[in-house]
Structure 1
């Protein structure tokens, strides 16, 4: 075989990386060349080697000592050629990267590998390692044994730095995503986010909880899988009408849309949804976000509160009605005893009973007023009112209380008439409650002052006292329901703590304002109410005079009293007989109709809450009877709300009295009644 031809050889050598021996199988080789230089005929390769921008080197096999290095490789490691040629691969390789070199070297020695590439760290002269990528190939001698290695070395520090930066960025992004997810999952509101295609890219834990299931993230939302219904009609929401779909497709923002839903597990609930489109800098829709809050429990709680409030109001109304029954009997009895007793001591006792009955009646009326106000059932008349005249009427009402406590009451009224628009009864109630409150919370022989003046376009009424005052912590809630200053077990002032609540509500219904001032306990208090002045109108000069009661015609009337409470019926009959009327009594609806046919009454005083047949039905039947349709019908009942009065008039009643009835007013009505 010629010496220049390729041969198969077997070689055994020691590795520079350790002591193992390698048996190299037969391999194709080329004739051996001198180790100290490249072939002279390889001039082009020589130029490439020297001028290449990449590092190039020729290393001895198997110990890895450098035989030749180019300038780029020297510059890469900060070394001179002389420094490089006295070193070898293992000395300059990072300890963690030697193992990979060893594996590849063994394979080369065994003839299993002729070339390979790998990334490794090489030692720079200043002591730090730099990342490189080596492309190595073995050159074998004529016998096929590894002669030397050719290496192309690429400086990949920048790439590695970029890769490391990318890794760190990814780690940071993953950490931020974890933080974001933790925050989003903590939000007590269901949250989803869609991309431009309608695919869900985010859902938080509360959303999953609200819908009792998971959506398929990164897939387009199938709105048909979600069942939503309009609360008012029960109509199912169309797929394109879901708030998030509207935001994504039409760019519409929705706010607080209430929907009934059927969850993914079949249970029902209610949510409130808001949604908004996500826009890029050019205003294009690139996604949408929606938030929903599960208000199922809240809605159920609200329903329970509404029902409880309704039952409370019904209870108060019924309580007032039930209290008025025995109160009416007590008042009637006291009236009878008062009119028939001459002994001073007895009259004193009766006066006490009368006052306490009036107090009890006031408490019942306050309870009913609160019930009406909280349900929005107060209906005001809109009349032109002389505030000064109403002040005088209120003073007459509270004068006995002022005298009882020995208070000095001063009143200042303007010379010019001050007029407002409102309900005369309710307006007087405001004044009476303020004056009564001042009297209650002022020690005996105190001073109370009421001032009326016109302030710009407002009628201002101030009630000032030198009483116990209001503590600082009480001032902000003095108008709250059941709030009382200086409350405690003694409750020496009495009352339910609802008088000022009623005042504030009535003032607001009149478009007015109320304020309270107090420097604290022991410094008295001042309440100021203001109302818009009535629009001016031409009017003649007016004088005021007391209006007489309706004239009492001589002779009594035939009266039928109908009440299922025997005590009330009998005492009322006795009182009316005392006034000279002829009275017949019945205790239920059928008996009332029968008695009416028998005695042909001129006036029927009829209770509403009768057993079997209520007073409304009795009235309707009486109006249909040709013989009795002319009779005067007056309701005397514990049902005293405005609606009760309307129903009574619609049923055919001529008049409505609320128990306990003012016996003098009732007698005046009966006496003056004309068929």
Structure 2
């Protein structure tokens, strides 16, 4: 059946050559292209007639095509047709077949002598129809000889998703030009050799004829000249073709002497055009004084051993001092007897490629150095989720060798509780090629599970194919623990606020009831009883507020200890006296055991008494009626150990580690709480630590009692004089002290002065600032107790005036105020006060401070 000739309009319907410029261009692979050039060069030296087929196989791979081949134009009986001189891939079975010029897409390319891209060419070229799989895209470039298109080099895509781009066209043109020039060179050489043989045969024949036919000599000479001209033309054509090859070509004889070189070889070696390359020849190294290796050594190898040099990389130094990297392929040439007659060298400049490779190595080293420096797990997986790279920190963290964490080895590092969901989510990210983030626990080399926040991004190759994920995992264990601690603190804060509200409501209820009773018509009759009850509840509220202020100062390191030598027995007796009412209220039996020797502490009497009283109060509150409480002290080397034990409700084992934490009551959740804010033991621990000691809690469990052990460093025992002074102070603790009390509340001032007089002091009360300043030269006090909130002249102004007069530089000034925050204390210190007391005044604290000052 005759195949119709396509019309010009039909051809234009399938041509999409302009798409080459529009489509994304893949990155050039010069290394692969150089290897292809070298392979063609080796093929040229080994079997020149195999160059077209070699070219078809190379472009099939370089262009990722389904089929590739070379169609060359031939003529027979007045008709023109194309013969497939090379075919690879799916079209390989058609090698050697033919197709008419007019019905082949190659005819269009030859006529127009330009690169063309066709899509679904069967719509115009019926000969392309029926091929299985179908031909989706055809990329064709002209095969030229002496500037004229004599065929085409083509590649075919049989997949809709494989579209050729401008990089494919460039590679196809470069290789086609190289192969065409090389192939034509061989053809020319063969034609020259054939012509030479025919000429020699003709010359011999004609010589014999001339011997008998002298008259034909002139005719024969003319023919000889004509043959010589043809030979010179053929040789020139050969040289022109070799000169067109985009690589250096140098030929030498058996002695290594250059017999031919093209212009590219001149440029590569840096010699003048037309002269033998400066980097070639037996004496090139010595003659040019090269410090680097040139072509001489590999050339000698080939000429001496007869083995080809394949893809050897060298660095050569040219006469001008510049250096280039080259890829060297040397093939020996043999005569008819098999002897080495010379060699052909194909030289390619790979300086640009080597520079890119060096930059890639530097870039990779920079990346590895950076990756191994940061304290983050950095990893890369392939398209199946297998580890292919981890940084040094990853290996240090896991304690494993590189090969142990490759592949799927990372699965066993994830916590068993996290692993199923973690791995499933990550593998889904691999399948969908999406960014990924997860938080999980990973086992460290010491067996500890650490929290990590992991991030990963998909990685794509230059051709757009998925290559896996690259990720980083940051250790967030400290942040997770801090968040958990914050949540626990927040929970305890809410619990504390609820308890605080409850504790404040307890005294407010009877106070409110008392107010209503006082308003009742017969309220006066009950006034004495109500006032006593109101005082009791007000004291309870004051204690709550003081405890809050106290723990606030302690936790912010704003409290100062007033240390002095103390007898342990005095501190214990003071604590027992403070706690005795609560102990007796619950009908407990208290057993106090002290060592026979007098143990001395360098401590704050008020604070240490507060510590022991707090422990005794806790024992009384958390022991059922009629229980037993024991306080026992003993010397332990340079320390004293004070133990407070009870047979009360005990402490659950799970609550022991937190029993000294702020706002903690071990029995509150079980309904055995005894009121309070849960700050007593926290205060105990802080005060003991401030004294350089330790405190610990012990309990065998619920219902089995508790034991609190305080250990404090001992001081040197006081001398006899100190003992005598202390004994005298015990009888009249403030004897000999002159004290001025200043308060605009006359009742408060008078009662405080009377209390101080009762303790042996000489006290006087005045009711405003000017009266205080007037009383100074009369009383000449050791101490001034000064209210801050007085009218006209407040306490701060009075203090400033006292400090401004050098006559009163030795006077101690104590602030009396209802304000007890640290900012209030700083304000009074700045005004010259020595001590700060909140109302109502705690006489024990005041006595202790006045006594310490005297000592």
* TM-score where L is the length of structure 1: 0.45
Structure scoring higher RCO (CA < 8 A, sep ≥ 6) equals 1
Question: Which structure's residues are more often helix, by fraction?
Answer: 2
